[in-house]
Amino acid sequence: MTHHSTDREAGAVEQYLEESLGLHLESLEKGREHARAAGLPAIEVSAGQGKFLQLLTEMIGARRVLEIGTLGGYSTSWLALGVGASGKVITCEFEPLHASVARENLERSGLADRVEIKLGAAQGTLDTLISKRAEAFDLIFIDADKRNNVVYLERALKLSHPGTVLVLDNVVRGGAILDDPSQLGNQEADVRGVQESLLWLRDHPQVSVTALQTLGAKGWDGFALARVV
């Protein structure tokens, strides 16, 4: 029996799965290249996670999706594929360069019609949606500054209906989630933000939640998946 080193081979297995399942879509990969060339950080979801988001969106028949954290529009594109031509994705991004790269990518891949990029700090955008009594979203993907996760969750709930699915990315952070919250400094505000958001999800009477670990080219992480009840 061959023994494999998990750390060393997780990236190779991810690549194998992506290739054997055909998860790389040409237009979306071009978008990733464009984002790299524009200097955006390589912190988007993997192709497997992107397809997971598309499938989840399709499985619940989501027509309206809210995303917090656009970057170059990679996960946005998968969500846009999930909602279909008559669906809508609203995505929040505060870096003008990220938003403009995302807009170009979505236009090039023919998905721009179903996506609205809201430029500005996500908290303000969400508060405006709430005050304007925006129609509830069917799925909300939270993937921005993790220190504000609870801020986003509180607002996400106000923009939800019973059955809305919440996905919270990067909840494991290479195991840093185990660190003692009382020992965390300002540098680890995102770790504390994730810890607080998991407790919030556990304690909220309107939420049913789980979390799954992931391993791949970008290391060890995971996501929380919740349903508004």
Ligand X SMILES: C[S@@+](CC[C@H](N)C(=O)[O-])C[C@H]1O[C@@H](n2cnc3c(N)ncnc32)[C@H](O)[C@@H]1O
Site residues (vs ligand X, CB under 6 A): 43-45, 69-71, 74-75, 92-95, 98, 121-122, 143-145
Output 14 or 143, the one with its CB closest to ligand X: 143
With residues binned 3-state (H G I as helix, E B as strand, rest as coil), the percentages for the chain, rounded to 5, are 50, 25, 25
Residue of 130, 224, 101 lying closest to 169 (CA atoms) = 224
For residues 43 and 183, give the distance between their C-alpha atoms in angstroms, rounded to a whole number.
26
Residue 89 Cβ vs ligand X, minimum distance, rounded to whole Å? 11
Closest to ligand X by CB, 144 vs 191, is 144
For residue 39, the tally of other CB atoms under 10 A from its CB is: 8
**Least distance in angstroms from the C-beta of 20 to ligand X:** 22
Residue type for 25, please?
L
Closest distance of CB 223 from ligand X, Å? 11
Q: At what angle do helices 74-83 and 96-108 cross, to 10 degrees?
A: 40
- Between 9 and 33, name the residue whose CB sits nearer to ligand X: 33
* Closest CB to ligand X among residues 58, 145: 145
Q: How far is the CB of 53 from ligand X (least distance, A)?
A: 9
Residue 198, phi-psi category: left (phi > 0), alpha (psi -120 to 50), beta (remainder): alpha
